[in-house]
Amino acid sequence: MPLAISEIAVTERKAASRHFSFSSAFSASSAVLTRSVSSAPLVVLRVAFGLLMAASMVRFMARGWVTELYVLPQFHFTFWGFDWIRPLPPSGMWLVFSLLALLGLTIAAGLATRPSLIAFFLLFTYVELIDKAYYLNHYYFVSLLTFLLIFLPVQGEWSVDGRIGWRPSQPSVPTWMLWLVRAQLGLVYFFAGVAKLNPDWLLAAQPLTIWLHARTSTPLLGPLFDTAWMPYLFSWAGMLFDLTVPFWLSWRKSRGVAYLAVMVFHGLTGLLFNIGMFPWIMIACTLVFFDWEFLAKRRPSGQTAALPRWVVGFLGLFLVVQLLLPLRHWLYPGNVNWTEEGFRFAWRVMLVEKTGQVTFTVLDPATGAQWHVLPSQYLTPQQDKQMAFQPDMIIQFAHFLAAQVPQPVEVRAEVYVSWNGRPSRLLLNPEQNLIAAAPDWRPKSFILPP
């Protein structure tokens, strides 16, 4: 029986839909991404982030950390490729932190916005590059976010720049600009969640079992932290939260509840653990998932901000790098949580409880004389603690020790590490002369299995 014309049309459409068309999908998604929306979310993000950074810098100075972290130590663990970075004299470091606090305020106000963001990015990243013993994922996130904001029209409709005519008001932006920032935030959560998909976290509820035992004096919840089930609840809830919350925040219908979960989750971890500004940074930055349309003075129009093609391409590349960096640990042999190879810049947060002890042996091959060095003789407790389980830092410190004596020496390290409640084991081959190794990104064959 012949088909009616309308039936033929339907069949053709079905056939067409089975043959996925890249060009039509591309043009469809490109239409979505370039759709004009209110720039208000970027403004909210800019103000919240700027104020938080100003407060964070004041807190850092008030706690005496400028002196403790950047003035007192006689040795710093520089990053590979950035070995030339050195701390400034004390007055210089104080000036840097004061400027960062001030720049936080100018960013919030939208005064000289882009120069402020550029200066903040450079100064903040400089400080972070001084010593990897102080590496924190949320500091890395601050650098990344500031870098992104430099390229975006974050003055929006609400800035001093716009008010005094330094920069045109920008009520509308293409959707992709919002999603770029949201994607960066989402990656933090998502990879933090992926990292939790391991037997320690899910099957042994470690390290949360250890951490919650140590927090039993917490009001109300505290007594429950000695139970066996509570760490499991926290572990699984934390994993599901991290893995899925970027999606719940992205979906309009679940956004409100998801943000409530963000506040509860970060509020609780902030209360329980000594994690500084991290909860507040995430609570503030996830505000960018809302559309804030009620703040917009004008309806989003077709006149959106435009960026040169190369900038758009560059930002796309940036995002790709961000997608790949956390996965690089698969290129190294062994378990990243033990070897630490590919651990940084990968959103592997709150994942292991690690303790270590390093004893260096310096050997003068000419005389046969050898002696021990405990790192606490040279390092601050924080540097000592961090180095004790990170092979690249141990190698760096071995080179520093060798430089303390005039004659050429060999340096070996006896490194005992315990993680997530396991008995201590040797991390490195104690026979390895660390002077023959470089503290770079290459896999270290002398890391022993866990």
Partner 1 sequence: MKKLFYLNTLLLLIGCGAAGAATAVPQPTTTPPGFDRQALLENITHQIAIPAHEAFVARAEELATAVATFTADPTPETLLVAQDAWRAATVARTSLLTFRVGLVDDSLLHNRLDNRPARTTFIEETVAGTVTIDDAFIESIGSSSIGLGTMEYLLFDPAGGSEAVLARYTTAENAERRRAYLLAVARNLPVKATALLQVWTPDGQNYAQAFIAADMDGGELQGSMNMLVNQMISDLEEIITTRLGKPTGNTANGQARPDLVESPFAFWSLPRIKATLGTMHAIYTGSDGVGFDDYLDFLGAQTADGTPLSQAIEAQFITTLTAFAAIEGTLHTAVTDHPDQVNAAYEEVRTLLVLLKVDMANHLGVTLTFNDNDGD
Place of tokens 């800019």: 46
Report the relative pairing of strands 36-38 and 354-363 from DSSP bridges.
Answer: unpaired
Q: Which is nearer to partner 1, 399 or 425 (CB)?
A: 425
> Within 173-212, which residues bind partner 1 (CB under 8 A)?
188-189, 192, 194, 196-200, 202-207, 209-211
Among 92, 115, 223, 408, binds partner 1 (CB under 8 A): 223
Judged by CB under 8 A, the chain residues 399 through 418 that form the site for partner 1 are 416-418
- Specify the long-range contacts of residues 373-376, CB closer than 8 Å, at least 24 apart: 373/401
CB of 112 closer than 8 Å to CB of 141: no
231, 300, 326, 391: residue in contact with partner 1 (rule CB under 8 A): 231
Task: State which of positions 330-349 bind partner 1 (CB under 8 A).
Answer: 335, 337, 347, 349
Which of 9, 32, 95, 213 contacts partner 1 by CB under 8 A? Answer: 213
> Given the DSSP bridges, would you call strands 36-38 and 172-174 parallel, antiparallel or unpaired?
antiparallel
- Footprint on residues 246-265 left by partner 1 (CB under 8 A): 247
Select from 237, 257, 320, 374 the one that contacts partner 1 (CB under 8 A). Answer: 374
Task: Output 288 or 296, the one with its CB closest to partner 1.
Answer: 288
Among 30, 227, 303, 404, binds partner 1 (CB under 8 A): 227
Whether the link from the prior residue into 207 is cis, omega within 30° of 0, is yes
Contact region with partner 1 (CB under 8 A), list: 164-172, 177-185, 315-323, 420-428:
420-428
- Give all strands (DSSP E) within 188-325, no chain letters: none
| Residue (42 or 288) nearer to partner 1, CB | 288
With binding defined as CB under 8 A, does residue 377 bind partner 1? Answer: yes
Q: Which of 163, 215, 255, 328 binds partner 1 (CB under 8 A)?
A: 215
CA-angle at 65, arms to 61 and 68, nearest 5°: 140
CB 449 within 8 Å of CB 427: no
Backbone dihedral region of 419: left (phi > 0), alpha (psi from -120 to 50 degrees) or beta?
Answer: beta
Interacting positions 55-94 with partner 1 (CB under 8 A): 65, 68-69
Closest CA to 194 of 325, 327, 341, 324: 327
Does 218 contact partner 1 by CB under 8 A?
A: yes
